[in-house]
Structure 1
Amino acid sequence: MTLHDESRDSSEVMRPMPPLLTTRAKIFIGTWNVRTMWETGKTSQIAAEMKRYNLTVLGISETHWTQTGQKTLATGEVLLYSGHEEENAPHTQGVALMLSKKARNALVGWEPHGPRIIKASFKTMKKGITMNIIQCYAPTNDGNDEDKDQFYDRLQSIIAKCPGKDLTILMGDLNAKVGMDNTGYEDIMGRKGLGERNQNGERFTNLCAFNKMVIGGTIFPHKRIHKVTWVSPDHTTENQIDHICINRKFRSTEDVRNRRGADIASDHHLVVAKMKLKLKKQWITGVTALQRFNTASLRDADKLKEFKITLNNRFRVLQDLLKEEETTMEDNWKRIKEALTSTCQEALGRKKHHYKEWISTETLNKIQQRRNKEAEINNSRTRAEKIKAQTEYTQANKPVKKSIRADKRKYIEGLATTAEKAAREGSMKQLYDTTKKLAGKYSKSERPVRNKEGKPITEIQEQRDRWAEHFEELLNRPAPPNPPDIEAEPTDLPIDVKPPTMEEIKITTRQIKSEKAAAPDNIRAEALKSDIDITAKMLHVLFKRIWEEEQVPANWKEHHLINIPNKGDLSKCENYRGITLLSVPGKVSNRVLLNRMKHSVDAQLQDQQAGFCKDRSCTDQIATLRITVEQSMEWNSSLYINFIDYEKAFDSVDRRSLWKLLRHYGIPEKLVNIIQNSYDGLQCKIVHGGQLTNAFSVRTGVRQGCLLSPILFLQVVDRIMKTSTSEKEHGIQWTSRMQLDDLDFADDLAHLTHTHQQMQMKTTDVAAISALIGLNTHKGKSKILKFNTESIDLIELDGETLEEVDTFTFLGSIINEQGESDADIRARISKARAAFLQLKNIWDSKQLSTNLKVRLFNSNVKTVLLYGAGPWRTTANIIRRVKVFINNCLRRILNVRWPETISNSLLWKRTNQLPAEEEIRKRRWKWIGHMTLRKSSDCITRQALTWNPVGKRKRGRPKNMLRRELEADIKRMNSNWRQLERIAQDRVEWRILVSGLCSSERGCRRK
């Protein structure tokens, strides 16, 4: 950086220093206060201006975005942003860094520091030198001194942490006038600034002097118009308050000036620094995640035909090689994999993402017209001309905003048209994918994670290492010291152990879900389904070898793991769950095993378990628990419920015990050996930021996303429950011959007892037996809910007290100590309202038909509202609240607004809806018929409909309960439970009965 001074006075000339980073490459770095990005189309306009000025990095002030994250824009730029983190925070302040592809590739790491500061680091061509860019937005000169102190203290601490050998750039809207007088600051500024230094300027120059950072805007000689960075709305005041600074020891800046032609309807000018610097691509130790094949093109008939022909030709060449006796199973797999992937590469090619800009050419022309008006303002010579040009600019900005909003509406209407077409053609996946776009349901943006000590990790490579560290610990739990001695069943279950037949492979291949991410082998289900016959022939040879050798290909044991955000602080790895991407041919093999085992294994499980079981649902368990609570309250019978939660249940199962359990339940040894081999030597890599971490071994738990995992895990839970309750009477008396100890849905367990002593003993026993198999009870999340007891004794586990609560959410439904449904219904209405508001674009669309809107309402909103409604105890107040919500939604869909009116009956008729009371009753009786009365008499949910505890009713009028509502409905039908059980066996007759019940209720209401 050379100082071009008009005078040779020593007080004005900076001491010469040779440039540290010598290179011919030039990059442009800018900073801009855009006033807001919380406006439709603003981000796209900023990205366009960034490209127009060929900026490598653009710092942005006043984004007005909340939260912190990283987003990849549709145009390819990466946006790092930092704003207010608080819930319901105001859309004020906010800073961001927009990175070009070059900067994105050189990115080493980044740090958010609240709504005023953000920092990013980039690798340069100079070995050992990193470029740190700090973008900030300082308080105004009139701001609170305490806020200024806090801002500059934080900024100083950030700069101080940057290594002295690195190139550090500080830029942004500092709201600081440094002026032209550099007396005392000759080392960090020249005399080419603008105006007079203000209070913020003093703070800023002192900061720069302390850190030896040169203020670029004061060094290079330019016209006044090229120094101004802010202009007041009336054009009477012009200041230089946006700055770009660089370490004094680096001489790589060649120029700093504003770019008045950049236009975003802001009162600040874009400030650009031209630098002699070259960024280096940040190569990492991991490898890039796979680029997927374009299997979507198989929907085209010609492309599908071409693919089938190519695959058939390769199979003919491969056929004889697969049947050679000296070939191993691994050899067969490698040849099959090569045939499939090479066919995909040749016929389909790689998947490319095409971005379709939603801003129209007409709008872009209007933006150019507005830009021309900006140029007129800049070229005006008198104040009167500026005022006139500013008025014209304001007028030109209005049609830009209007046109952008129109373009956005047109884009949304285009999506709506696509959704309507998908609905007509029955393409439900495309319909709901488009619905997500309409609703704006995008994945949460990436953000830096923290290490174990809670300190943010800024470097991307270290973040990947942290993810690998987290999941390696999570998926390799400590082995139980004394695993149980589980004996094998002497007689195997009647499960076929012969190699899969061709027909069996065809059936299971069709059962595999399409449009799912591929595993490391890069083979997708669409490729296998494109020609089922050829696929079956290839896999038949492979599966035969697998069954003979009792081993699976090593490639099937190499997994990629995707981290999916849950609730809570997303800077903590603990608030993410992992989904494993498994080989699709391996899924076909697992589906064969599952189809063969499931029926026999399900018959071995307790009836209390409803998770992943055929003809069982969450509603069964919710209803059984609600009825149990209601009847206990009715008969004044004591009841204790312990909602047990395991720590990372699926990931903690001890595999040594698991393989013994499979034999204990009668799974044939050959199938157990195949399953066990698929877990031996399991390797996993984490996908983060499009890159893969180093591989690590996975030694505990069952795979998340594997078809066999549910049935394997259910046997573990079943063993725990049977062992802890088989010889003890710790449950509630259910029938004369049976006690009900628990209600389970996979690992969601609700233990039931009558007394504190029983619950204490059961809790201790279950925890001890669970620990033997690797499952540890989460003491912080396990809760106690009790009814009709005056005992104040607490339940303890390993010296810790389990919390007693008034309410608990079991399988998504709220159970409280009053045994009522009101709290659950309030929660359902709140969730349904949120779901309805998310689909605002759909309800406002003029392209979507009313019929489709109602269908989407029924599937996306009504299902949320009426989840678990079957066992609700409905009162007039509850019915009114549900009806009001549904009617308000339907009126919004039909665009009926005050003072327009429409009767409820006409509203329901036009939208083909039942009244709320009938809808709940219809769902209730459909559930009772389908899921309860058609089952055997030993079904717990069926028994619950007539169960009474031991006890005595309280005095006074009994409360309305589900059972009384059912009895009233049965009376309307002129029937009884025995007759209903007979009718329920005929589905058609049952539907007629339920429809008649609703019709008769409607008729009674009219009378």
Structure 2
Amino acid sequence: MMTFALRLKKNKKRGNIRIKFDVDKLKDPNILTTFQVNIGGRFAPLLALDNDQDLTHDDLAETFNETLTEEASKLLGKPRVKKKESEGSKQYREANLKVKRSIKEATEKWIEDQCEDIENSLKHNNSNKAYKIVKELTDTKQARATTIESKEGKCLTEEKEILERWTEYCSELYTHVATGKDPNVLNVPPSSNNARHSILRTEIIEAVSSLKPGKSAGIDNITGEMVQAGGEATIDMLFLICNKIWQTGVWPKPWTQSLVINLPKKGNLKLCQNYRTISLISHPSKVMLKVILNRLKPEAEKIIVEEQADFRPGRNTVEQICNVRILMEKYLQHQQELHHVFIDFKKAFDRVWHEALWSTMRKYNINSNLISVVKNLYNTATSAVFCNKNIGDWSRTTVVVRQGCLLSSTLFNIFLERIMTDALEDHCGTDREMIVMNSSANEEKGGRGRRMIGEVLEGCDLLQ
């Protein structure tokens, strides 16, 4: 179906138009000479006629007019219409040009200053400021969908319905039931490391100074800058609270709550799975988490093998790609086959079985009080969706390492280490030949490699 509209065009009546020529061009000697030659050439036959021929003065006048008009049209053309310019208009035009020129110069200088700020920010490792300036310069705003589809594909437009849909989606995401739960995994005796050293004031000072600026606040609306600006009084209060947590294992409620916000990725933005969920946790709680992390890291480094590069300082992705490239070149040089095993942990942080994580920490003899404090945090942790300035219902998370938590990456590495160790210890021992397997024509080696991959995948069922 289409709508078609028809409108008749008005036929404008044209009156008698007076033709004007640009006679100023006759001041040009070349044009003047050409004009005279053309006129003389056309008048010559008429001037050669006898006076007795039947040519009236009207005929001669008409020929005269046509000749001059035609030659003028060819050589002179129409004159340019010059608008009369008053003195005020002239002054305005000059001032306008001056202003435009000044604006252009100021804009160019401002852009140069912004580019210089970006370079200085990157040199001083302040990427947040650099990206903020780039975002302001490019002014690229990502489109957000105003509607969300339900599980059944129904389009939801009301804010309440959208909030309920997001709450439903996040609840399903963070309460995944692990299919690979093996009771034997939990049969681990308690840790023999029972030291309960109190938290030192220097640990609190170090943790407070490590808070990153420019981060969004959690449910308590307290930013890292506010904590750092509090001075000695803030340090004293956090020192008291953190020691209470360390001794009792009980966390303050706001420190266990996190707000989940959604950021669009790509694809159909009416689908929840095309958004990235980010958790905002309390900044004061990050002080306690930093203290725990500083105590957990030395023990974790003894556990995690040298080959593990995820979430470890000084081991970026570029270096790992370089290592793989060197291996490929060496194997190609010696004309041998090289096999890489890639395991995709689907929503890896969202698939960690908590009970298996605690048993893994006990297996590696991590401090029992540290395990207890972290376990109590996870047992009481709740989250709620923050969407369109509204907060959804609070719910517990059963299978996930906390997003935005300083401990998450280290806990995940410890959990992953147990999976890899259990899957490969019968084949590789401590050599860790899992990532690169030299497969020759030997059938026994090929079968061994396939069995290794199978056992790794079985171990990964703990994550999914």
TM-score (norm 2): 0.71
- 1:663 is displaced (CA, Å) by 1.6
Alignment of 1:938-949 (within 5 A): none
- Rounded to whole Å, the distance in 2 between the matches of 1:528 and 1:628 is 48
- 1:541 is displaced (CA, Å) by 1.2
SS at 1:685 equivalent: strand
- 1:591 is displaced (CA, Å) by 0.2
- Partner in structure 1 of residue 455 of structure 2: 765
Change (3 A) 1:535 1:422: farther
Match of 1:507 among 182, 206, 210: 206
- 1:478 is displaced (CA, Å) by 0.5
- 1:655 is displaced (CA, Å) by 0.3
CA contact (8 A) 2:186 2:355 kept: no
Residue deviations 1:595-618 (CA, integer Å, cap 9, x gap): 112122112111120112233222
SS at 1:579 equivalent: strand
Residue deviations 1:237-290 (CA, integer Å, cap 9, x gap): xxxxxxxxxxxxxxxxxxxxxxxxxxxxxxxxxxxxxxxxxxxxxxxxxxxxxx
Change (3 A) 1:524 1:409: farther
Residue deviations 1:47-80 (CA, integer Å, cap 9, x gap): xxxxxxxxxxxxxxxxxxxxxxxxxxxxxxxxxx
Higher relative CO (CA 8 A, sep ≥ 6), structure 1 or 2?
2
C-alpha RMSD of the superposition: 3.3
Match of 2:148 among 449, 470, 473: 449
Residue deviations 1:902-960 (CA, integer Å, cap 9, x gap): xxxxxxxxxxxxxxxxxxxxxxxxxxxxxxxxxxxxxxxxxxxxxxxxxxxxxxxxxxx
Residue deviations 1:463-488 (CA, integer Å, cap 9, x gap): 22211111110011113442413524
Residue deviations 1:678-717 (CA, integer Å, cap 9, x gap): 1113221112222222222211110111100000000111
Q: Are 1:417 and 2:121 an aligned pair?
A: no
SS at 2:136 equivalent: helix
Q: Are 1:709 and 2:418 an aligned pair?
A: no
SS at 2:415 equivalent: helix
Alignment of 1:222-621 (within 5 A): 414=110, 417-418=113-114, 420=116, 428=126, 429-480=128-179, 481-483=181-183, 484-488=185-189, 491-492=192-193, 497-621=196-320
- Rounded to whole Å, the distance in 1 between the matches of 2:149 and 2:397 is 23
* Letter of the 2:188 counterpart: E
- Partner in structure 1 of residue 421 of structure 2: 722
- Rounded to whole Å, the distance in 2 between the matches of 1:407 and 1:457 is 47
Change (3 A) 1:455 1:541: same
Query: Which of the two has higher C-alpha Rg?
Result: 2
SS at 2:311 equivalent: coil
- 1:231 is displaced (CA, Å) by 12
CA contact (8 A) 1:487 1:660 kept: yes
* Letter of the 1:768 counterpart: E
Change (3 A) 1:536 1:727: same
- 1:589 is displaced (CA, Å) by 0.2
* Letter of the 1:538 counterpart: M
Change (3 A) 1:422 1:611: closer
- Rounded to whole Å, the distance in 1 between the matches of 2:240 and 2:438 is 54
TM-score (norm 1): 0.34
- 1:752 is displaced (CA, Å) by 4.2
* Letter of the 2:367 counterpart: P
Change (3 A) 1:421 1:616: closer
Task: Count residues in correspondence.
Answer: 369
* Letter of the 1:620 counterpart: E
- Partner in structure 1 of residue 379 of structure 2: 680
SS at 2:149 equivalent: coil
CA contact (8 A) 2:257 2:381 kept: yes
Change (3 A) 1:620 1:489: farther
SS at 1:717 equivalent: helix
- Rounded to whole Å, the distance in 2 between the matches of 1:455 and 1:587 is 40
* Letter of the 1:697 counterpart: R
CA contact (8 A) 2:218 2:280 kept: yes
CA contact (8 A) 2:304 2:414 kept: yes
- 1:579 is displaced (CA, Å) by 1.2
- Partner in structure 2 of residue 643 of structure 1: 342
- Rounded to whole Å, the distance in 1 between the matches of 2:231 and 2:11 is 73
- 1:450 is displaced (CA, Å) by 2.0
CA contact (8 A) 1:412 1:438 kept: no
- Rounded to whole Å, the distance in 1 between the matches of 2:106 and 2:460 is 57
- Partner in structure 1 of residue 61 of structure 2: none
- Rounded to whole Å, the distance in 2 between the matches of 1:405 and 1:632 is 63
- Rounded to whole Å, the distance in 2 between the matches of 1:511 and 1:235 is 79
CA contact (8 A) 2:350 2:400 kept: yes
CA contact (8 A) 1:587 1:706 kept: yes
User: Which of the two has greater helix per residue?
Assistant: 2
User: Which of the two has greater strand per residue?
Assistant: 1
Change (3 A) 1:763 1:438: same
**Which segment drifts farther, 607-616 or 670-679?**
607-616
SS at 2:303 equivalent: coil
Change (3 A) 1:431 1:770: closer
CA contact (8 A) 1:741 1:753 kept: no
Residue deviations 1:664-691 (CA, integer Å, cap 9, x gap): 2222111111111111132211122222
Match of 1:738 among 431, 439, 448: 431
Change (3 A) 1:756 1:524: same
Specify every segment of 5 or more residues in structure 1 that has no aligned partner in the other structure, as ranges: 1-147, 150-174, 178-197, 199-229, 237-399, 731-736, 743-750, 777-1007
- Rounded to whole Å, the distance in 2 between the matches of 1:405 and 1:759 is 72
Change (3 A) 1:412 1:715: farther
CA contact (8 A) 2:209 2:228 kept: yes
* Letter of the 1:525 counterpart: G
- 1:413 is displaced (CA, Å) by 5.8
- 1:759 is displaced (CA, Å) by 4.0
CA contact (8 A) 1:682 1:699 kept: no
CA contact (8 A) 1:523 1:583 kept: yes
Q: Are 1:628 and 2:302 an aligned pair?
A: no
CA contact (8 A) 2:278 2:404 kept: yes
Q: Are 1:694 and 2:423 an aligned pair?
A: no
- 1:447 is displaced (CA, Å) by 4.1
- 1:585 is displaced (CA, Å) by 1.1
Specify every segment of 5 or more residues in structure 2 that has no aligned partner in the other structure, as ranges: 13-95, 440-444
- Partner in structure 1 of residue 357 of structure 2: 658
- Rounded to whole Å, the distance in 1 between the matches of 2:102 and 2:138 is 18
Change (3 A) 1:630 1:433: same
- Rounded to whole Å, the distance in 1 between the matches of 2:224 and 2:125 is 18
* Letter of the 2:274 counterpart: N
Change (3 A) 1:549 1:757: same
* Letter of the 1:527 counterpart: M
CA contact (8 A) 1:654 1:700 kept: yes
- Partner in structure 2 of residue 911 of structure 1: none
SS at 2:156 equivalent: coil
SS at 1:559 equivalent: strand
- Rounded to whole Å, the distance in 1 between the matches of 2:417 and 2:143 is 37
Residue deviations 1:163-193 (CA, integer Å, cap 9, x gap): xxxxxxxxxxxx565xxxxxxxxxxxxxxxx
- 1:506 is displaced (CA, Å) by 0.8
CA contact (8 A) 1:602 1:613 kept: no
- Rounded to whole Å, the distance in 2 between the matches of 1:547 and 1:529 is 22
